[in-house]
Chains A and B, each alone.
Chain A
Amino acid sequence: MAMLASRSFAGESTTLPAELPDGTRSIARYVNLPEKKRLLRLVDRPPNYATPVDVFTEAVTPNDRFFVRYHLAGVPTVGDMDNWSLSIGGDAVEKTVRLGLSDLQKLPSSEVLSVCQCAGNRRGLINPHVAGVEWTDGAMGCALWRGPALRDVLKAAGLKPGAVEVWVNGADGPVLDVTPPFRKSIPMEKALDGDTIVAYSMNNAPLPLLNGYPVRLIVPGWTGTYWMKHLTNIEVSSAPLKNFWMQAAYRVPAGLFPVDHPFQSQANETTVPITEMVVNSLIADPLEGGEAERSGFTVRGVAWDRGAGIDRVEVSLDGGGSWQDALLDRPLGRYAYRKFSLQTGSLRPGTYRLVSRATSRTGEKQAEKMKTNPAGYHNNVPRPISVVVT
């Protein structure tokens, strides 16, 4: 692995976001990385870098600003991927096949503009704190992903009856052989959904290494944990995948969060895997602690959900006391960010508490209070931003 030290970004403010929790504030800083500029470093081994909030004034997140999240420190290099291929096997296919990048590129391709969000995004804003990577708002992004549908890739191996799950593995791995490698599974229903794709393109360019080069699984509407990077192995199985990452990690209390399509083969009586995202919104401008003129300003941000689409975003200037409907940009796709904006009009000097709250097309709203769960997932509580008008 190449030794490329990260560097502080010159020419822009190095002031850390006001909302970073203590502890994280001591270690965080803005860095550039290969193919990446000005991300907020939380921890670097394994690499976990957040996208700064101001990037979310746009509905598409540029590749060089897209967040980075690894569980284990064995990250491959671009060179390691020179001879990359994808194996499709398992006990529920007719034959094991191996496809190269050119084979994938010959298959019919689909595009999906989709949010990829870490299940633990905003964990660092939960009070009381929950242990883990203390993300604030930046463990997410929205990109245009292109590649063949997973179901067309599976066809190359021939599906047999009795398939229950598709197991996936990537080229990244643990430092110690005894550590459980990061492997995940999805149910057949999601695997055969035409929007679930094997992406070799991100925003019309190859994927950056740290976002899964050369090929990543795209699971729109579902949290990022299933979006396997550096995808190398697909196994179609007649049995549920049993490992730490499915049975112990990434689980939530049964019934706590709404889902349209339960992941039955991984559910038990008390917990279920975290799957579909919850409806959420983020104000990206102004930023926490910002200052504004009394002539007024525009509140801008994005809203997203698990695939119904965003129906309404409301904005409050007084911490949730009163609400106004924000203007919504045209929808860019059911899994994409939807931009919103609100002109405040002239304001008296003072401190304003800005809050946004989104409603999906199925009527799902952001939670009023955190739905407490052991790992601090799915924090979609409307979150106030303090702005001083002078």
Chain B
Amino acid sequence: MKALAIGLMAALICSGSAFADEPLPLKPGPGGDLTIAACNACHTSDYIIMNSTFLTPDGWKAEVVKMRKAFGAPIDDEAVAEISNYLAAQYAAPAKP
């Protein structure tokens, strides 16, 4: 997992966008470093904050799976679970009844 995070961080450094600022810091928690590395490899993690007030834990999981399946994010099952759990714990709206 650590190797994956380092690899993704290297991708981030190599792909600086012309207009991008540093993303806002994310909340600390288990899976936080992996989430920051994996998301920022291709896009700012500010997207997490933008969608944080209404995505449920299931909604976040669907987003992470979409990043892997539709966009080719190089994250395995274990990483998908870790990132989804982090987002569910730190940035999710309550599950809908």
Chain A residues within CB distance 8 Å of chain B: 1-6, 21-24, 26-27, 33-34, 42-47, 72-75, 77, 128-129, 131-134, 174-176, 178-180, 244, 248
- A6-B21, A33-B19 as given contacts; A174 in contact with B42, CB under 8 Å: yes
Q: Of all chain B residues, which has the CB nearest A33?
A: B19
Measured CB to CB, the nearest residue on chain A to B40 is A45
In the bound assembly, the distance between CA atoms of A178 and B67 in angstroms comes to 11
Q: Hey, which chain B residues are within 8 Å of A46, CB to CB?
A: 17, 43
State whether A44 touches B44 (Cβ < 8 A).
Answer: yes
List chain B positions with a Cβ less than 8 A from chain A.
11, 15-21, 23-24, 41-44, 46-47, 49-55, 59, 63, 70-74
Bound-state Cα–Cα, A33 to B17, Å = 13
Residues on the B chain within 8 Å of A24, using CB: 50
Cα distance A23–B59 when bound, in Å?
16
Would you list the 10 A-B pairs with minimal beta carbon distance, nearest first?
A178-B72, A45-B20, A129-B54, A23-B53, A45-B44, A45-B17, A175-B42, A27-B46, A22-B53, A44-B20
Question: Which B residues touch A5, using CB under 8 A?
Answer: 21
Number of A-B contacts (CB under 8 A): 101
Given A73-B42, A175-B41, A133-B50 contact (CB < 8 Å)? yes
Inter-chain contact A77/B42, CB cutoff 8 Å = no
Residue of B18, B21, B73 touching A75 (CB-CB under 8 A): B18
Choose one: A22, A47, A129, A134; the contact of B17 (CB below 8 Å).
A47
In angstroms, Cα B11 to Cα A174, docked, is 12
Chain B nearest Cβ from A41, distance in angstroms: 8
**Given A73-B43, A176-B42, are A4 and B51 also a contact pair (CB < 8 Å)?**
no
Report yes or no: A179 in contact with B71, Cβ–Cβ below 8 A.
yes
Q: By the criterion CB–CB under 8 Å, are A43 and B21 in contact?
A: no
The contact of B47 among A6, A43, A179, by CB within 8 Å, is A43
B52 cross-chain contacts in A, Cβ below 8 A = 23
Question: Contact between B16 and A1 (Cβ–Cβ < 8 Å)?
Answer: yes
**Cβ 8 A contact of B74, one of A3, A21, A75, A176:** A176
Q: A23-B52, A131-B63, A179-B71 are in contact. Are A47 and B42 (CB under 8 A)?
A: no
Q: A44: which of B15, B19, B42 is its contact (CB, 8 Å)?
A: B19
